[in-house]
Amino acid sequence: MASSISSRVAPLPLGPLPVLFAASAAWLAWLVPADVTMGDSGEIGSASYVLGVAHPTGFPFDLLLLRAFVFLPFGSIPFRQNSCVALVSAAAVTAVAAITLALCARIGIRDWSARVGAVLGVAALLTFRTFLGTALGVEVYSTALLLTACAALAVLGGERTEALIWPLLGLSCGAHVVGGLLMLPLVAAVLLGRRRPLLGLLPRVACVLATALVIAYLPLAARREPPLDWGDPSTLSALFAHLTAARIRSSFAHEMFGGGPRTLPSLLLASQLSEHAILFAPALLGGVALFMRARRAFLVLALALTLDLAYAVWINPMGIADRQLGHASGAILAIFAALGVADLCARSTRYAILRWLAPASALLLAAALCTSTRWPTLADGYVLGERHGSGGPASELPPRSVYLCTSDSACASGLWSAHVEHVRPDLVVMPAQHLWDHAVLRKLRPRLRALHLELPTDEPSQPQARAALAARMVRELVARAAVQPVLFESDDPVARASRRWRIAPAAAAPLLQVLQTSADPGAMDAAISQTNALLRARFGPIGPTSTLARDAWCDAYGTLGKSALLAGDAGHAVLAFRRAVATAPEHASNYSNLGVALEAHGDLLGAFGATKRAIDLDPTRATAWANLARLSMRIATPEDTQKILAAARSFDIHDPRLERLASELEAHGVSGSTEK
C-alpha cells in the first residue's frame, strides 16, 4: 500500500482557486505588452512561429504552446504569444495557492485562515520581480514552474493523483531544465513512500517516455531547414548536445562550479530573494509549522529550494543578473510565508482580541506588497519595438543588408522583423558571436557565396577558437561591405574589425553603425536629435520613469556616445553621455563613460568629477578607478594619485592598468576606456 507524503490529506479545498486564477489572469492580461519584449522573447517567439529550433535546450513544449496561441483571432502575433505566457503564469500562481491550501489541510488548518494564507502566497509570487519579469513576455520559466507545481499537487493529492507525476516529468523534458530538476525530490518522495518502490516501475517509465516524445519536435523541425535552426539538432548526437546545452556549457565552463567572478554575487543575491525580506519572518514560522506536523513535505520543499539555489549559483550563475533563475525559490518562499500567516491566523482564533487583527494584518501585508511593486507599463512593452522592431531601424536599413547583432534583444527583434512580420525578408540577421556555427553559416551560404566569402570547413570546439573564427568572419564580411551593406548593432564588432565607419543618417541611427570611409558629425547630430524627439514624443518632458524604459533609452544614448568617441567626435560624445546620465542617473557606467568623453573634449576637471561619481555609485568598477587615477596624475599631485590607488586596493581592485599607473606615476597622456 502506498504511503506518500499526502496519502492522509483530505480532498483539496477548491473554493478560492477559481477566483484567484481569474484575478491573476485578468491582472496579468491587463499588463501584457502588445510588442516584442526584452531578452530572448523575439528569438523564442520567432522560432515558435516558423516552427524552428530555439537556443539550447530547445524548449519544444513551449514552442508548440506558443504556436497554438498564434491561431487566436485577436491582437498582434506578439500580443497573442505574450498572452499565452501570462495565462501560464496565472496558472502557476494559482497552483502555488493550491499547494498552500493542500499543505494547510495537511497541518490541520482548514478554515478561512488557509484562504488568507493562499491570498498572501499569490501576492508574494506576483510581486516577485524575478517571476514578474518573465510572466508577461515570451519566456520559458513560467511553464517550468507550472509543470513543477502541478507535479507537487499530484503528489499531495495522494494515491488518486500521484500517478500524474510521470507524464508531467516527461513533459518537463521539453521545458526549461529547472522543471525536471525540481521534480526529482517529488519523484523520490513517491518512490520512497512505497514499500516496494520498484513494483510497477516499467509502466511509469513508459509513461515518462511517451510524454517526453515532445522533444522529437526538435529533430523534425531541424530537418525542415527552417529560417531559425539553432544548433541543427537533426542527428541523435546533435539532439543530445542541444538538450544538454553542450555549447553553452563549453562556452561558460569557467563560470560554473565557483570558477568565475559571478559566483560571489550569485551567493549574495540568493536569486533576488532578499527583495522579499519582509516575508522571511512568516516564512520561518511556516517552515517550523510544516516541519513539526508534516516533516516529509517540509523536507521535499527544502530540498527543492536547495536545488534551485544551487543550480542558480553553481551551474548557471550567468543567469542571475538577467533574472532568468530563482522562480521556484520565490514560489517556495511564498508558500512558506503563506503557511506561516495561515498558522498565525488559525492560532489567533483562540483569543478574541486577535481574531480579526491577524487576518487583517496578513491582508495588509499582501496589499503592501502589491502597492510597493513597480508594475510594468505600456511604455515598457513598446520601447523595444521602437528601438529594434520593424517600424524602427529595420525598416531603414539598405536593401539586402547583412545585419550582425550582438545583444539578445536586437537579434531577437531582427529575427522577428525578418521571419514573422516579413517586413524585411531581404534582411539577413545573424548573431556576430556565432559565425563559427555551421548551422548559422549554412543559412547564409547563398549570400556569402555571392560575396565570394570562403566558408570554414571545420567547426571549432574550444571557446577561444570559436571566438577567433567568428572575429575572422566579421573581418571578411567588413572587407566586402562595398559589395553588400554590412551593419552592426553596436560598436564592438566594428571596433575590432575596422575604424573606418560612421553612424547611418536614418531612423536606425540610435542603434546601428554602417561601415564607411569617414566620420560625419552631421549624421551624429541628426541621430541625437532624432533620439531626443522620439523620447519626448513617448514620455513628454518628465521622461521615462520605469526601470525597463530608462535602461533601454539610456542604452540608446550610450551607443551614440561610444560611436562618437570611436569616430573622434568628443563633443557629440559628451552630449550623448550627458543624456544617458540624465535618463538613468543610477548607472555608474554612464558617469564613467561621460568622464572619458569629457577628458577627450579637454575638460579634465569635469572628467574627474564624473568618474568620481561613477566610483561613488559602484566602487567595484576597475575601469573607473584606472581612469580616475590617470586623471589625477594629470591634474593633481603624485600623493593624491597614490591615495586613489590605495583606495582602489581597499576595495580589492586588482587591475593591470592600476598596477602600471602605480609603477609609472610620472607618466601622462594614457587614453581612457569606456565601459560596456
Higher pLDDT, 612 or 568: 612
Cell matching residue 277: 525580506
Within 157-235, residue ranges assigned H as helices are 165-172, 177-192, 201-212, 217-223
| Rounded Cα gap, residues 539 and 641, in angstroms | 43
Q: How far is CA 166 from CA 155, 211, 392, in A?
A: 11, 9, 47
pLDDT surpassing 60 at residue 171: yes
Which stretches of 222-327 are assigned E, i.e. beta strand? Answer: none
The mean per-residue pLDDT over the stretch 71-99 comes to: 92
Q: What is the mean pLDDT of residues 395-417?
A: 69
Predicted confidence at residue 518, as pLDDT, reads 36
Identify residue 511 by its one-letter amino acid code: L
Average pLDDT estimate for 65-86: 90
Per-residue DSSP letters for 456-467? PSS---SHHHHH
CB atoms within 10 A of CB 126: 24
pLDDT one-digit tens code per residue, 24-34: 999 998 888 77
Instruction: Inform me whether the pLDDT recorded for 149 exceeds 90.
Output: yes
Name residue 507's amino acid: A
More confident residue, 138 or 12: 138
Sheet holding 428-431, edge to edge: 428-431, 402-405, 486-488, 513-515, 501-503
Which pLDDT belongs to residue 510? Answer: 37
pLDDT at residue 607, as a whole number = 92
Q: What is the Cα–Cα distance from 515 to 499, expressed in whole angstroms? A: 8
SS3 515: strand
Nearest-5° Cα angle at 543, 539 to 545? 100
User: 274 versus 346: which is more confidently predicted?
Assistant: 346
Q: What is the pLDDT of residue 140?
A: 93
Distance CA 6, CA 159 (A): 8
Which pLDDT tens digit goes with each residue over 427-467? Answer: 777 777 777 777 777 766 666 666 666 667 777 777 778 87
Which grid coordinates are listed for 446? 547563398
pLDDT tens readout for residues 619-658: 888 888 888 888 888 888 888 888 888 888 888 777 777 7
How crowded is residue 550: how many other Cβ atoms within 10 Å of its Cβ?
20
What CA–CA distance (Å, rounded) separates 377 from 354? 39
- Tell me the mean pLDDT in the region 35-49: 81
Residue-wise pLDDT tens digits, 555-610:
778 877 877 787 778 888 899 899 999 988 888 888 999 999 999 899 999 999 99
State whether the Cα torsion 196-144-50-323 is positive or negative: negative
* pLDDT for 271 beyond 60: no
With H, G, I as helix, E, B as strand and everything else as coil, classify residue 206.
Answer: helix
Closest to 344 in 3D by CA, of 10, 109, 121, 119: 109
Decide: 51 and 226 in contact? Cβ < 8 Å: yes
Q: How far apart are CA 392 and CA 190, in angstroms?
A: 53
Average pLDDT of the chain to the nearest whole number? 78
From the list 598, 595, 594, 588, the residue with the least C-alpha distance to 629 is 595
Claim: this prediction has a pTM higher than 0.75: no
Greatest mean pLDDT among 84-98, 109-123, 131-145, 453-467: 84-98
Give the 3-state secondary structure of residue 526.
helix
Q: Cell 520581480 appears where? A: 129
Task: Look at residue 209 in the predicted model and tell me its pLDDT.
Answer: 93
Q: At 649, list the grid cell.
A: 586596493
- In this predicted structure, what is the pLDDT of residue 31? 86
- Say what the pLDDT of residue 59 is: 94
What 8-state DSSP symbol labels residue 229? B
Q: Higher-confidence residue: 145 or 374?
A: 145
Single-letter residue type at 431: P
| pLDDT value at residue 482 | 56
Cα separation, 503 vs 353, in Å, equals 70
Q: Which residue has the higher pLDDT, 238 or 474?
A: 238
Give the rounded percent of residues in the chain with a pLDDT score beyond 70.
75
Please give the Cα distance from 645 to 629 (Å, whole number).
7
What residue segments make up the domains of the chain, in order of their start?
17-231+247-372, 384-586
User: What are 128's three cell numbers?
Assistant: 516577485
